[in-house]
Chain A
Amino acid sequence: MTTERTGWFGYRARLTLSCYALLAATLVLLAVFVYVPVVWAFSNSLYQFEVGGEAQFIGLRNYQEFLFEDAVTWPSFLNMALLTLIAVAARLTVPLIVARFICSLPHERGRYFYRLLFLIPIVVPGVAVQLIWGGLVYAERGLVNETLAAIGLADWARGWLSDPRTALVAVAFVGFPFVFGFEVLIYYAGLSNIPTSVNEAALLEGCTGIRKFFLIDVPMVMSQLKLILILTIIGGIQGFEGLIILTQGGPGFKTTVPGLWMYYNAFSFQRFGYACAIGVCLFVIIFGLTVLNLRYFRSTEELEGAR
């Protein structure tokens, strides 16, 4: 077979074009459903706009209202920060510890069993998990209140999700004890990939137990930690579906986050321009945090390169 130019249209050019042709459908769909809406959102954020109504250009008025006038904005950012912080702490620690325990099991059969055990809950839809916590754990006569009553602390029973003092913490504790199967698997993969020579060297140097965990294991799974960190932060900023199910952002605005406020403004209050402005602000925050993360939080490979 020859790759030389035959006629005016060579093989390489045809190959390139055919690749683009095959990608075209995906690129068009990506543009229509991802990039165009992003640009559209930027544009709409400058308008007072509702579906079916007349759009009125108001410049940066929506941003001004959201950042400086809306009483919900800053408390909602605080809620988001707290929930994200707790989620980051939970997802960076508990699954890693569990993965480490699984790794240290002597037999493959045992390791397989526990991997499977922690993975199975992944198939339960998130909505079902939220409903279980709302309807069974935090309910009027749910697990928490009944347990308190059983141990003689009935006075402590309350509507955990409707009490302004406990609602945010209650939301943050959904999923306790935070052994998330996805994270466990990711960390397990990272820990399994630590070269045997490294583990043996550590053993020879007398670096075992907790010391080894912090000095060897954690640095060696830094790539995984970085990935989970980015995903958790993005999820923390964007996600609000659990809050809709559990509290709808209440009581008051005690569990409202900016994403939820954006949703309400768009679909309940029909303030699409304002909702777009909130969305743009969230985009800027996520983008900024991701850049910071990529720049200052080194992965395993980068750490090795630095050495």
Chain B
Amino acid sequence: MTVARIIGVLKAAALPVILLFGLWALWPASGDDVVTLGPRDYGPEVKYVLKVAPGPMYMPGVEPFGIGKPLRGLADVIRAFEARFPDTRVECITVPVMRREFLITQLSSGQAPDIINVNVEDVWMDIQKGWYVPLDHWLEQPNPFVVEKGDPTAPGAVQWWDMFEYQAISRGKAAPDNLNYCVSFDMIETGIYYNKDVFRKVGVDVPEDWEGFLEIMGKLRAAGYIPLLMIVGLFNDWATDLIFDQLYYEVLPGIDLVQDPTREGYLEGYLDWDEIAFLYEKGFFTPRDARYREVFRIMKDLRRYANKNLTGIDMLREFVTQQGAMLWHPCNIIYRLKADKSLGFEWGVFYLPELTKRTSKYASDTPMCVIGGSAVQFEVTNTAVGDTPASLPLGERMRRSTRLERVMALLQFLCVPENYERIVNEYEALIPNIRGVTPLPALRPFVEILQRRYTTTKWTFTFDLKFSEVQQRLLDLYLNDGATLDEFMELQNENLAYATKNAVLRKRLDLERLEGKWRELAPIRATMEDLPCDD
């Protein structure tokens, strides 16, 4: 056989080999361990096919971080539910619910999954459109799966609400129309992960206050490490809220204008968007508000110790490869860090230390508050009332829909402690929010952090998505020396002016009603320093 002929045979054989290899690579994995609960064929007895988009944290068949066995907790519980309700099948599907373009088109056509998992604040913009089902009616009723056990003292036997461990955060998720559109399934909290080996090598310790924090970061940088791994989104969200809280907590008695009795027990002094809009009109959060300016001065100081590139950086990679000494991250990476056999260093977690008067004369000398909260938040969409005429008002559809009853039964079934434990404690990622379910030991540092006071406000969720997006862009510019603090304050002022005006128009806020309380608090404000308003 000539060489040319051999080459010819090889050429002819190459294509089928490539095709077979591709087929093999794409062939679904087999084995009992893989439970996906994707779309299936159903018999005539099946009346309800519910679609759930649980997100990647609990998605059956997913290997978290590509490590270990595929998840099956949620699938097992759903199968138990299907056994209880033979006319019902539940499909777990992966859809890009975090992409608004997807969600908007699906919701407007009534095609979204019955249950989705997105930050509830992101759905607030659309609640007036009837796309989401308010859950209060069910939350205020007993959970039937708890009642059937016969213990009248068990959490959930009187109200489903009572089953949730973190009441402040769970109830704090109520929308501005005071209705609840989500079930807070579990909690996530952030902390500073630090490389203990690097700390020892450089000779630094966990800081006790903000100045100490900056000091150790200076030493870490001098030793060639990225002191703190951050992205601009974290500055926009967590850093803004924490520093804001540290500087405004002291003056809250003079500016907290609305005390909602149903929320105050959980969200002490929380500033809602009507209060923020009102205070803005009084000069707060403008360039003449010294505290607001100070928030961003301090943030810039912090930024000096972060990585150069604030976008598109893989923070976790930088941390595990020991390029970065500290990583500000939620608790969901515990599993990843614990499972890494080649990590090669010891790590720990601490929470951000408080600001003192050494850092700013406006520091409130109070421990840092909590800025994490609900992780998996299940919302029920208009698809759940898809068995009723779309022309009817949502309230009427909710009353008539039998499908919705089944969807709510599924959520209630998932919340039963023995069911829920199989889901949330399948791996170390999230903190259970159901009473009677103990967090996994590795999550304890974060459970401790969660005991702290909740933040004064969540700026990224205060107004609309445009405000949050523009604020992040402005911060990106300012923190990367593309704008001075003065320029940033002016641009942010324009952003706030637009956002407050829009909020007043869209949500028909009545700011006049806050005038009385504002005048009432004048004597308290008179004792406070450097407020931007003239009483």
Interface residues of A (CB under 8 A from B): 51-53, 71, 134-135, 138-141, 157-165, 246-254, 264, 266-271
Q: Is the CB of A268 within 8 A of B465?
A: yes
Q: Which of B54-62, B98-106, B137-145, B185-193 contacts A (4 or more CB under 8 A)?
A: B98-106
Write the nearest CB–CB distance from B442 to chain A, whole angstroms.
29
Q: Is the CB of B100 within 8 A of A52?
A: no
Beyond contacts A140-B323, A252-B482: 11 other A-B pairs, Cβ-Cβ < 8 A, are A52-B129, A138-B309, A140-B226, A158-B309, A164-B483, A165-B482, A247-B311, A251-B232, A252-B476, A268-B100, A270-B125
Write the nearest CB–CB distance from A116 to chain B, whole angstroms.
16
Given A52-B107, A141-B323, A251-B476, A162 and B309 touching (CB < 8 A)? yes
Answer whether residue B466 sits at the interface, using C-beta atoms and an 8 A cutoff.
Answer: yes
Q: Is the CB of B473 within 8 A of A253?
A: yes
Given A140-B313, A164-B477, A248-B311, A254 and B482 touching (CB < 8 A)? yes
For B104, give its contact among A51, A71, A159, A271 (CB under 8 Å).
A51
Instruction: Return the chain A residue nearest B226 by Cβ.
Output: A140
Given A52-B131, A158-B308, A162-B232, A250 and B104 touching (CB < 8 A)? no
Write the nearest CB–CB distance from A70 to chain B, whole angstroms.
10
Q: Is the CB of A269 within 8 A of B469?
A: yes
Answer whether residue B494 sits at the interface, using C-beta atoms and an 8 A cutoff.
Answer: yes
Answer whether residue B126 sits at the interface, using C-beta atoms and an 8 A cutoff.
Answer: yes
Write the nearest CB–CB distance from A69 to chain B, whole angstroms.
10
Given A52-B104, A52-B107, A52-B129, A252 and B473 touching (CB < 8 A)? yes
Answer whether residue B307 sits at the interface, using C-beta atoms and an 8 A cutoff.
Answer: yes
Q: Is the CB of B129 within 8 A of A250?
A: no
Whole-angstrom CA separation of A134 from B318 in the bound complex: 16
Whole-angstrom CA separation of A140 from B104 in the bound complex: 35
Q: Is the CB of B476 within 8 A of A270?
A: no
Which residues from chain B contact A247 at a C-beta distance below 8 Å? 311
Q: Is the CB of A157 within 8 A of B480?
A: no
Given A51-B105, A267-B101, A270-B125, A250 and B465 touching (CB < 8 A)? no
Whole-angstrom CA separation of A140 from B311 in the bound complex: 10
For A250, give its contact among B126, B308, B311, B481 (CB under 8 Å).
B311
Instruction: Return the chain A residue nearest B472 by Cβ.
Output: A250
Write the nearest CB–CB distance from A283 to chain B, whole angstroms.
20
Answer whether residue B22 sits at the interface, using C-beta atoms and an 8 A cutoff.
Answer: no
Whole-angstrom CA separation of A248 from B494 in the bound complex: 21
Against A, the Cβ 8 Å flags (1 = close, 0 = not) of B467-508 are 001001110110011110000000000100000000000000
Answer whether residue B310 sits at the interface, using C-beta atoms and an 8 A cutoff.
Answer: yes
Answer whether residue B203 sits at the interface, using C-beta atoms and an 8 A cutoff.
Answer: no
Q: Is the CB of A267 within 8 A of B104?
A: yes
Whole-angstrom CA separation of A270 from B310 in the bound complex: 27
Whole-angstrom CA separation of A115 from B84 in the bound complex: 65
Whole-angstrom CA separation of A23 from B171 in the bound complex: 59
Which residues from chain B contact A52 at a C-beta distance below 8 Å? 104, 107-108, 126, 129-131
Which residues from chain A contact B474 at a C-beta distance below 8 Å? 252
23 contacts between A and B (CB under 8 A): A51-B104, A52-B131, A139-B312, A159-B307, A159-B311, A160-B309, A161-B309, A162-B232, A163-B481, A163-B482, A164-B481, A164-B482, A164-B483, A249-B473, A250-B232, A250-B476, A251-B310, A252-B474, A252-B477, A252-B482, A253-B473, A268-B466, A270-B465
Given A251-B473, A251-B480, A159 and B310 touching (CB < 8 A)? yes
Tell me which residues from 313 to 348 in chain B have a Cβ below 8 Å from any Cβ of chain A: 313-314, 318, 323
Most buried by B among A157, A247, A253: A253
Whole-angstrom CA separation of A270 from B107 in the bound complex: 13
Whole-angstrom CA separation of A52 from B99 in the bound complex: 17
Which residues from chain A contact B307 at a C-beta distance below 8 Å? 140, 159
Interface residues of B (CB under 8 A from A): 99-101, 104-105, 107-108, 125-126, 128-131, 226, 232, 307-314, 318, 323, 464-466, 469, 472-474, 476-477, 480-483, 494
Q: Is the CB of B318 within 8 A of A140?
A: yes
The 7 lowest CB-CB distance pairs between A and B, nearest first, are A164-B482, A159-B309, A252-B477, A251-B476, A52-B129, A267-B101, A159-B308
- Which secondary structure dominates where chain A touches chain B? loop
Whole-angstrom CA separation of A263 from B466 in the bound complex: 12
Which residues from chain A contact B105 at a C-beta distance below 8 Å? 51
For B480, give its contact among A134, A141, A164 (CB under 8 Å).
A164
Whole-angstrom CA separation of A139 from B464 in the bound complex: 31
Q: Is the CB of A267 within 8 A of B100?
A: yes
Q: Is the CB of B482 within 8 A of A134?
A: no
Write the nearest CB–CB distance from A249 to chain B, whole angstroms.
7
Which residues from chain A contact B473 at a C-beta distance below 8 Å? 249-253
Write the nearest CB–CB distance from B307 to chain A, whole angstroms.
6
Which residues from chain B contact A165 at a C-beta distance below 8 Å? 482
Which residues from chain B contact A161 at a C-beta distance below 8 Å? 309, 311-312
Whole-angstrom CA separation of A270 from B313 in the bound complex: 29
Instruction: Return the chain B residue nearest A142 by Cβ.
Output: B309
Write the nearest CB–CB distance from A215 to chain B, whole angstroms.
45
Which residues from chain B contact A51 at a C-beta distance below 8 Å? 104-105, 108
Which residues from chain A contact B104 at a C-beta distance below 8 Å? 51-52, 267, 270
Which residues from chain B contact A164 at a C-beta distance below 8 Å? 477, 480-483
Which residues from chain A contact B465 at a C-beta distance below 8 Å? 268-270
Write the nearest CB–CB distance from A187 to chain B, whole angstroms.
31
Instruction: Return the chain A residue nearest B308 by Cβ.
Output: A159
Q: Is the CB of A251 within 8 A of B464?
A: no
Whole-angstrom CA separation of A54 from B184 in the bound complex: 31
Write the nearest CB–CB distance from A78 to chain B, whole angstroms.
15
Write the nearest CB–CB distance from B145 to chain A, whole angstroms.
34
Whole-angstrom CA separation of A161 from B107 in the bound complex: 35
Most buried by B among A71, A134, A251: A251
Write the nearest CB–CB distance from B487 to chain A, whole angstroms.
10
Whole-angstrom CA separation of A266 from B99 in the bound complex: 12
Which residues from chain A contact B314 at a C-beta distance below 8 Å? 135
Which residues from chain A contact B494 at a C-beta distance below 8 Å? 71
Whole-angstrom CA separation of A159 from B309 in the bound complex: 4
Which residues from chain A contact B472 at a C-beta distance below 8 Å? 250
Instruction: Return the chain B residue nearest A157 by Cβ.
Output: B308
Whole-angstrom CA separation of A246 from B311 in the bound complex: 9
Write the nearest CB–CB distance from A197 to chain B, whole angstroms.
39
Q: Is the CB of A53 within 8 A of B311?
A: no
Which residues from chain B contact A71 at a C-beta distance below 8 Å? 494
Which residues from chain A contact B323 at a C-beta distance below 8 Å? 140-141
Q: Is the CB of B469 within 8 A of A163?
A: no
Which residues from chain B contact A264 at a C-beta distance below 8 Å? 469
Q: Is the CB of A162 within 8 A of B481?
A: no
